[in-house]
Amino acid sequence: MPDNCVISLPKEHVVSCRFWEDESVVYNQVSGETHLVDGIGAQIFKFISEKAATRTVLLQNIINVFELETDSDMAGLFDNLILEYQKLGLLAVTENKTA
Amino acid sequence: MKLAALSRKAVIQALKTDGLRLKIGGFNVCLSSSIPEVADHLLCLYDAFDVINDDDFVDFYTSLAPPSILRRYFRPQVNFSFDGYYKFKPLPYKQASAMFEWGLNWCIASHSHQYLIIHAAVVERNGQAFIFPGTPGSGKSTLCAALICSGWRLLSDEMTLLSLADGLVYPVPRPISLKNRSIDVIRSFYPEVIFGEAVNDTSKGTVVHLRPPDLSVEQVKNPAEPAKLIFPKYEQESATKLVPLSKGRAFLRLAENCFNYDILGVQGFNSVGDLIDASDCYDFKYSSLDEAIVLFTELAH
């Protein structure tokens, strides 16, 4: 995944989120599915529900919040999570045209 | 006028002709039936309810009648209709009163989408609504019966109606359905409470309905604020155990127990979320009703 791609909630407010401590529930109006996410997943949705972020910014935030080592495993796990959520229609990944 | 003001003859007559019109919670219900036992069921368990005027709006027109003339005499059966539609298979005639309760549950659950409808008992003390979602066998009705017999207010034994407009729980106090072993448990616990006739051999076993307390019926216009969301589980011999439940997990379990979460879409999601925000959430395992009552009474202070 390119570092400068933008990760955001899907347009037209089709996804709603609620947050409690390290948990979040995410509701997709299109599929009607409700998902419980915790840990890193919850932090991803907490961050992007406030504002869209590039992969670099979001990954750095996760590393800071969870005090993780910066390594390729972490980046791989992060990318897999983003792709999984994207498949479920819970977030959008777009090319950063301003870069 | 309360139903108690009418004689048995008058109730039977009303049921046979234009139907008997009762205010049950926030709903106006009209029931027609030629079955005398239905009148006895209503007079025993709904005597504190208001009879509404003939020109008042009716939410649910219902009837209980044999499906055919043949079934009046040969292996007699009864069928429940709503607005002239028959949604259920007929049941044995002796289960008529239970069928009215189940049919009315269906009417409310299928047509009241101004509420998030949770399959849960709900009782109130000190202005706090305690909500007990539960699958059959979880012991929610037994717990609910024990609490209301100990002075708690009954809002509902079967369906918690959470208003989408203001997030409050609206009461629909009706007879509490007890099944099988829980009937004797509550009878021995509170010998003074009034029960309807036992209905045997239903798909749920033996069913008995317990009369709702007068005070709960009188306070039908007073909604309550949700305060505790407790998932009960009765287990023989188990110690009384109240364990905090994370809000995210409570959300999913609550949504699973809603009748109309999917129908309401994002409104349902927001409504469940608001309820979770407003409530402390727990798992509760118990076998002793005495201990449960003491625990919840302390929790309500």
Q: Is residue B295 classed exposed, middle or buried when 0-12, 13-18 and 19+ CB atoms within 10 A define those classes?
A: middle
**What's the whole-number mean pLDDT along residues B133-139?**
85
User: Chain A contact for B246, CB < 8 A?
Assistant: yes
Please tell me which residue of chain A has the smallest CA distance to B273: A18
Question: Tokens 């990954």 — which residue?
Answer: A59
How close, in Å, is residue A2 to chain B by CA atoms?
Answer: 32
Residue contact A25–B249, C-beta within 8 A: no
B82-122 residue pLDDT tens: 999 998 999 999 999 999 999 999 999 999 999 999 999 99
Is B262:A32 a contact under the CB 8 Å cutoff? yes
What pLDDT shows up at residue A98? 64
Distance between CA atoms of B140 and B234, rounded to whole angstroms? 8
Residue type for B120, please?
A
Q: Would you say the ipTM is above 0.90?
A: yes
**What is the number of alpha carbons within 13 Å of residue B259 lying toward its C-beta?**
21
Distance between CA atoms of B139 and B235, rounded to whole angstroms? 9
Please tell me which residue of chain B has the smallest CA distance to A38: B248
Residue to mutate among A34, A49, A90, with most B CBs inside 10 A, is A34
Q: pTM of the predicted model, to two decimals?
A: 0.94
User: Chain A contact for B270, CB < 8 A?
Assistant: yes
Residue contact B247–A38, C-beta within 8 A: no
**What is the number of alpha carbons within 13 Å of residue B293 lying toward its C-beta?**
15
Residue contact A18–B255, C-beta within 8 A: no
Is A78:A2 a contact under the CB 8 Å cutoff? no
Here the contacts of B93-96 (C-beta below 8 Å, separation 24 or greater) are B93/B35, B93/B66, B94/B37, B94/B199, B94/B200, B95/B199, B95/B202, B96/B33, B96/B35, B96/B37, B96/B38, B96/B41, B96/B64
Please state, for a pLDDT cut of 90, what percent of chain B lies above it: 89
**What is the number of alpha carbons within 13 Å of residue B281 lying toward its C-beta?**
19
Distance between CA atoms of B163 and B242, rounded to whole angstroms? 27
**Residues of chain B with C-beta less than 8 angstroms from the C-beta of A29:** 265-266
Please tell me which residue of chain B has the smallest CA distance to A26: B269
Is B127:B300 a contact under the CB 8 Å cutoff? no
The 3-state DSSP class for residue A9 equals coil
pLDDT surpasses 80 at B134: yes
- Report CA Rg, chain B: 19
What pLDDT shows up at residue B76? 84
Residue contact B273–A29, C-beta within 8 A: no
Helices (H), A10-54: 40-50
Residue contact A29–B265, C-beta within 8 A: yes
Q: What is the pLDDT along chain A (99 residues), one digit of tens a residue?
A: 888 899 999 988 899 999 999 999 999 999 999 999 999 999 999 999 999 999 999 999 999 999 888 776 889 999 999 999 999 999 999 987 765
| Residue B137 CB contacts under 8 Å (≥ 6 apart), including other chains | B234
User: Chain A contact for B255, CB < 8 A?
Assistant: yes
How close, in Å, is residue A45 to chain B by CA atoms?
Answer: 14
What pLDDT shows up at residue A99? 52
Residue contact A20–B276, C-beta within 8 A: yes
Higher pLDDT, B74 or A74: A74
Distance between CA atoms of B185 and B163, rounded to whole angstroms? 33
Distance between CA atoms of B262 and A33, rounded to whole angstroms? 9
Distance between CA atoms of B174 and B48, rounded to whole angstroms? 11
**What's the whole-number mean pLDDT along residues B198-215?**
93
User: Chain B contact for A25, CB < 8 A?
Assistant: yes
**What's the whole-number mean pLDDT along residues B177-194?**
91
* b/e per residue B167-192 (b: at least 16 CB within 10 A): bbbbbbbbbbbbbeebbebbeebeee
